[in-house]
Every structure is written in C-alpha cells, then in structure tokens.
C-alpha cells in the first residue's frame, strides 16, 4: 500500500477528504470535533514556526499540531 497523503501534508488552500486515522486514541478526540471519514477539510494556514496548523472542518476553524494532523489520512 502506498502511503496515503495526510492532512499535515496539505498546502494552504488545498482540500482533501478524510479517509481514516492512524492513531486510535487521537481519533476519538478528532471524531468528537467533527473530523469524520468522508468529511472534506481545507488547510487554511500554519503558525509562523510551521506548527500548529489551522484547518477548516465543515465550516469552522480547527487548530491542531502538525504531528496530530499527520494521523489523519486522506482519500486518494
């Protein structure tokens, strides 16, 4: 299986659709926040030092660290 692209790899303005999660504990929190498989997300901007990131999830802005964004795989 080729490595799927993650939310952490999106460029500002780029969209993607969530496929699945690679960290089970973290996924529960992300699900609570509305990051569901099938949800479309957009990378908005990153903090000046490259981390954390700000993404758009279903119309609201979500802050998360880069490492956390890398646990969200996207549909290819």
Residues making contact with another protein (CB under 8 A): 24-34, 36-37, 44-45, 47-52, 54, 58-65, 68
**CA–CA dist 68, 66 (Å, integer):** 5
Least distance from another protein to the Cβ atom of residue 12, Å: 11
Cβ nearer to another protein, comparing 72 with 74: 72
Q: Is the dihedral of CA 21, 1, 41, 55 positive or negative?
A: positive
Least distance from another protein to the Cβ atom of residue 36, Å: 5
Tell me how crowded residue 48 is: count the other CB atoms within 10 A of its CB. 6
Least distance from another protein to the Cβ atom of residue 28, Å: 6
């Amino acid at each position: 299986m080729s490595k799927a692209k993650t939310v952490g790899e999106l460029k500002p303005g780029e969209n993607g659709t969530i496929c699945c999660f690679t960290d089970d504990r973290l996924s529960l929190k992300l699900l609570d926040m509305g990051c569901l498989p099938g949800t479309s997300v957009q990378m908005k901007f990153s903090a000046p030092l490259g981390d954390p990131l700000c993404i758009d999830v279903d119309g609201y802005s979500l802050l998360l660290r880069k490492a956390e964004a890398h646990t969200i795989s996207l549909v290819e």
